Structure 1
């Protein structure tokens, strides 16, 4: 185990945790300082500035990064530390909190999560990489991504209801997509409702779309949901929370080191963030991240 950290970059943004992140900053910083750490408090005006500040702090020798927020803030922070020996910790206050689920972090008690960081126990995990961007949970590249894209264009309502309305709107018109997939060199052309690429097992607040995915096996889990009726899709949706959709006849699962996903007109999302238009090539990078657990 590495020596205990001396200086922590504490990172949040104005929008983190639906605005809750900034309010926690003072209490989190105080707890970290009381444990003997030097805290560099970072918050940019937006995500781009916040990431720039975080990368600068890591480049200047910060011994660790702690982000306050949800999966989106963790996604931002890991862009600064992926592929380095600098660990990252999470104080959860997001909506989905899948990263917190991965590491069994307290989701209702921020100070208990801070104490996990102070204890300085780390776990090394894999990450998924596409070009110069990384993700830790799941890349959504189908119906789920289309819903995200529609919801982001809606000004009303706010919160989770926006995604529910976007889902209903897309259900009325969505048609199966034509995909070209390269699975470790095996090219396949399929029609599907969605393709998901998982580094971990869940996204979207506990939807276990890539059930069985492990964070440290050196592989990506690619799930294909083949065409089904709107009624079938609605009936299958609740099974995602338990991971029992894996027995559905329209479910297909592959484990690969690298995958390329192509489909016309789709913008993929990863860690709940807008990631990029297809086609995208994604590879698993083993041992790319150290996390305080």
Structure 2
């Protein structure tokens, strides 16, 4: 069969994640028309996330930009945005088990419930050049800067630099966590002493009872390895 001219995802980060599985490493360009809750991947690569018509123009008459994607093993999955492991993925797990309340409210309820029982997780993080062992609230491995509808977890992450940005939020009192958390929407949380951001082409996360989510989709339990593949993805941008 003939190679398609492009694959277009009309939806949010979850659908983009699915589309990336099909096109990463193939040379087939990915077009994105953002129609989801977060649209963080589209936003990071310069696609207007609140203007579907402008996004459609980019699909029809835009240029092709080459960016990195990363492969997760042993699950053999690609991701274009952020892998989250720790408190945030536990909130996701809890929210996914809930049938009420509907929509985003479910995540707020899940966050409050999870925070009540949450204790820091002992992580072993293996990077290109060293191993970090630390009790942490969460670890995020980012190809692009944000996830969860605008949380700029790694504000300096560039999708075409051949590296993954790794945010480590060290153990902290719950009151301090609640005070610091809102700063993630502006990206100013990086100045907090409990926050460390490092860069690596390959990152292995290991932690007991930790489940990872990639681009908001469940990947599975640790241990897992994220390895960047420079230029693995072609995207249609304005």
What is the TM-score of this pair, normalised by structure 2?
Answer: 0.96
Partner residue, 2:41 = 99
Partner residue, 2:101 = 157
- Within the candidate set 124, 127, 131, 1:180 is matched to 124
SS in 2 for 1:96: coil
1:108-187 aligned at under 5 Å gives the runs: 108-131=50-73, 132-187=76-131
**Number of aligned pairs?**
235
After superposition, the C-alpha distances for 1:227-247 in whole angstroms (9 at most, x for unaligned) are 111111111111101111111
Displacement of 1:270 in angstroms is: 0.8
Partner residue, 1:13 = none
1: distance between equivalents of 2:4 and 2:62? 15
Partner residue, 2:167 = 223
2: distance between equivalents of 1:264 and 1:118? 46
Of 126-135 and 142-151, the range deviating more from structure 2: 126-135
1:274-293 aligned at under 5 Å gives the runs: 274-293=218-237
Confirm or deny that 1:252 pairs with 2:202: no
After superposition, the C-alpha distances for 1:180-232 in whole angstroms (9 at most, x for unaligned) are 11111522211010111011111001101112011111001111000111111
2: distance between equivalents of 1:178 and 1:205? 27
After superposition, the C-alpha distances for 1:81-107 in whole angstroms (9 at most, x for unaligned) are 001110000111100110121133233
What is the TM-score of this pair, normalised by structure 1?
Answer: 0.78
1: distance between equivalents of 2:45 and 2:127? 28
- Within the candidate set 22, 39, 43, 1:80 is matched to 22
1: distance between equivalents of 2:146 and 2:65? 19
**Which aligned segments of 4 or more residues in structure 1 are displaced greater than 3 angstroms?**
none
Q: Show structure 2 runs of 5+ residues with no match.
A: none
- Structure with the largest fraction of strand: 2
